[in-house]
Structure 1
Amino acid sequence: MTIRKAVAQCQELCKSGKLQDTHQLVRWINTKEEHASKLMHTIAEYFLAQKVKKEQLSEHDYLQVLALHHAVLVAAMKTKQSSEMAPVDALDKAIQALRPVYEKK
């Protein structure tokens, strides 16, 4: 949600051309990139390194779970590189696709 808000704020602030708005724009860009980096860090170092255990899954399920995590990583990386909402929508979709892996059954 923060990444989405940051992109929306950036799009709005860049319209004015005022120096103060440019400063705020930079802060929003930094916030967007920080949150995307935190998400990537959490997926890689917590979920992939600690939660995904190959020995507990079939080979097919293991590869699917890896692909779901990878999709979140790629989508988060793309939000860092873009100032558009489409990558944010893709990130939301990737997170929603990953959610069932961690929901209690």
Structure 2
Amino acid sequence: MKKITHLLSAAFVIGILTLSGFQAKAHCEIPCGIYGDSVRIALLYEHIETIEKSMNQINELSKAESPDYNQLVRWVMNKEEHAKKIQEIVSQYFLHQRVKPVSSDDDAAYRKYTKQLELLHHISVFAMKSKQSTDLSIIDTLREKVHLFEHAYFDEHKH
């Protein structure tokens, strides 16, 4: 009887969480070692590509004599979602968990640390700028900053 009660309770909780729109976060900030750094970098590039496609679609649809506003809204929302995902990876994964503060006494390590912070900040800011615009030069800058961060980060870390 106790087993059935526990199963029903668990099913009830899962049902409530499902109906409420609860979403589990991929990065729980527990040092589990499951998530791979190179996968996060690949995801950054994938999100940038998705934002670029969204920008191109928005620009193309906007030129129409009678724009399909439903599709425009969908592409704008898609662009926003993927820019937010970039910011989450930068913040939740790299800044909170992977890029560790170092003492300014170790000059080389401190320069590397500040370079990584600078690049992550640029990535986050340009992700924000991609929400505000359909200027494709933002995409070029985002890719460049991710590329520079990738090299600054993996200089010391394993893939």
TM-score over 0.5 for the alignment? yes
- Extract unaligned runs of 5+ from structure 2: 1-48
Residues of 2 paired with 1:39 and 1:84: CA distance? 17
In percent, how many aligned pairs have the same letter? Answer: 38
Residues of 2 paired with 1:23 and 1:40: CA distance? 26
Deviations for 1:23-82, whole angstroms, at most 9, x for unmatched residues?
A: 101100000011000110111011110000124872221111111111111111110111
Query: Which of these two proteins has the greater Rg computed from alpha carbons?
Result: 2
- 8 Å Cα contact 1:75-1:94 kept in structure 2: no
Structure with the bigger percentage of helix: 1
Residues of 1 paired with 2:112 and 2:133: CA distance? 32
C-alpha RMSD of the superposition:
1.9
Residues of 1 paired with 2:141 and 2:158: CA distance? 24
- Extract unaligned runs of 5+ from structure 1: none
Q: 1:26 aligns with which of 61, 67, 73?
A: 73
Question: What is the TM-score with the length of structure 1 in the denominator?
Answer: 0.89
Question: What is the TM-score with the length of structure 2 in the denominator?
Answer: 0.60
Work out the number of aligned pairs and report it. Answer: 104
Larger relative contact order (Cα-Cα within 8 Å, sequence gap ≥ 6): 1
Residues of 1 paired with 2:116 and 2:146: CA distance? 12
